[in-house]
Amino acid sequence: MILWFLLFTVKKYHNVGKMNNKRIWKIIIIIKWEKEDEQIVAEIMRRRFFPTVITHKAWEGFHFAGHEIRITEATDCYGAVVWPSALVLCHFLETNSKQYNLVDKNVIEIGAGTGLVSVVASLLGALVTATDLPELLGNLQHNVLQNTKLKSKHRPCVKELSWGIDLEKNFPRASCHFDYIMAADVVYHHPFLDELLLTFDHLCKNDTVILWAMKFRLDKENQFVGRFQTLFDLEVLSNFPSLNITLYKAMRKGRMKVRPSKLSV
Ligand SMILES: C[S@@+](CC[C@H](N)C(=O)[O-])C[C@H]1O[C@@H](n2cnc3c(N)ncnc32)[C@H](O)[C@@H]1O
């Protein structure tokens, strides 16, 4: 019924009387996709700001994984607010928790900022290491611990990881194994894109899955995707054109699949 109404409206108001029905159906399908995108985006973007009137600190409220999550933000640096890419990744984690079961999985988040993704991964049962630059760690620690205490199966940890720096010393390849690397909005106008790629490369083992929400901005930064693809196979998990955000799954290129029969030799 609604579609016939749309068909009627498109014909009447867009002067497309001569257009064949096949083309009009195409337009309707595109309108429907855009509506779905808008609905998902509206759902993802649901957040409430709580001013400092009642509590001593202002916070933003989110709902993921069956919990209310309170995130303290600041406006003085990139990592101190929750960016839309983080919401996209959180929404994906909670709505795909069967296929991407995080229970007892080792997860590292790079450029965690306020820590929302790390909190959600932890509430979904993962052993989480939330990382960022040293100056972000105080607020990150506060948010991660306050939102997971007595709620998460494993206590998350917060650790410094400045991209490309002391990687082998702080995250030795021989002893660190991560099932998932998560990253939300880590590519933007900053001078550390080489170091970021180096960090993905260092932390990613053959069986590690990277879940990366990328916000597309300027060409120069967007080209990072091409460089990333020299090392990793990329798959689009979801796309939000109205936000310019794409959620990717990535795995190391050319990884060897070990067959069980070979293991027993
Ligand atoms: C745009 S914010 C995204 C924060 C969070 N992931 C989110 O989506 O809300 C980018 C994050 O990358 C971190 N970052 C920037 N340069 C970095 C570097 N060289 N080493 C480690 N983290 C860095 C920032 O501190 C910040 O937390």
Both structure tokens of 37: 């995108």
What is the phi/psi pair of residue 109, to 5°? Answer: -110, 130
Whether 259 is in a domain gets the answer no
- Average of per-residue pLDDT across 15-25: 49
pLDDT at 116 over 60: yes
SS3 47: coil
Residues with CB under 6 A from ligand 1: 78-79, 82-83, 85-86, 111-114, 132-133, 136, 161-163, 184-186, 188, 190, 192, 195
pLDDT in tens, 30-78: 455 555 677 777 766 666 655 555 455 678 899 999 999 999 987 666 6
Whether 265 is in a domain gets the answer no
* Ligand 1 atom at minimal distance to the Cα of residue 183: 6
User: pLDDT value at position 156?
Assistant: 98
**Do 114 and 90 belong together in one domain?**
yes
Amino acid residing at 209: V
User: pLDDT value at position 206?
Assistant: 96
pLDDT in tens, 205-221: 999 999 999 999 999 88
- Average of per-residue pLDDT across 118-145: 96
**Do 24 and 134 belong together in one domain?**
no
CA 74 to chain centre: 20
Both structure tokens of 236: 């689009």
**Do 38 and 127 belong together in one domain?**
no
pLDDT at 100 over 80: yes
Whether 260 is in a domain gets the answer no
- Average of per-residue pLDDT across 215-228: 94
**Do 183 and 200 belong together in one domain?**
yes
- Poorest-pLDDT segment among 30-34, 59-63, 84-88, 261-265: 261-265
Q: What confidence tier does 263 reach under pLDDT thresholds 50, 70, 90?
A: very low
What gap in Å lies between CA 222 and CA 258, rounded to an integer? 34
What is the phi/psi pair of residue 217, to 5°? Answer: -130, -100
More confident residue, 23 or 100: 100
Whether 67 is in a domain gets the answer yes
* Ligand 1 atom at minimal distance to the Cα of residue 86: 8
Q: What confidence tier does 2 reach under pLDDT thresholds 50, 70, 90?
A: very low
The yes/no answer to whether this complex scores an ipTM above 0.85 is yes
**Do 122 and 34 belong together in one domain?**
no
Tell me, what CATH number does 191's domain have?
3.40.50.150
**Do 139 and 39 belong together in one domain?**
no
Q: How many CB atoms lie within 10 A of CB 263?
A: 7
pLDDT at 262 over 70: no
Whether 192 is in a domain gets the answer yes
Q: Which of 107, 120, 133, 140 to mutate to test the pocket of ligand 1 (most atoms within 8 A of CB)?
A: 133
Mean pLDDT of the chain: 84
User: pLDDT value at position 265?
Assistant: 32
User: Token match 């300027």: residue?
Assistant: 218
Whether 114 is in a domain gets the answer yes
Q: Which of 185, 210, 247 to mutate to test the pocket of ligand 1 (most atoms within 8 A of CB)?
A: 185
Whether 23 is in a domain gets the answer yes
Q: How many domains does the chain have?
A: 2
User: pLDDT value at position 9?
Assistant: 43
- Poorest-pLDDT segment among 22-26, 153-157, 180-184, 248-252: 22-26
SS3 165: coil
**Do 35 and 133 belong together in one domain?**
no
Ligand 1, atom 15: nearest CA belongs to which residue?
111
The whole domain housing 38 covers 2-45
User: pLDDT value at position 255?
Assistant: 76
User: pLDDT value at position 37?
Assistant: 72
**Do 24 and 122 belong together in one domain?**
no
**Do 20 and 107 belong together in one domain?**
no
User: pLDDT value at position 41?
Assistant: 73
Q: What confidence tier does 4 reach under pLDDT thresholds 50, 70, 90?
A: very low
Whether 201 is in a domain gets the answer yes
**Do 62 and 167 belong together in one domain?**
yes
What gap in Å lies between CA 2 and CA 92, rounded to an integer? 29
pLDDT at 182 over 80: yes
- Average of per-residue pLDDT across 109-124: 98
**Do 139 and 243 belong together in one domain?**
yes
**Do 29 and 58 belong together in one domain?**
no
DSSP state of 255: P
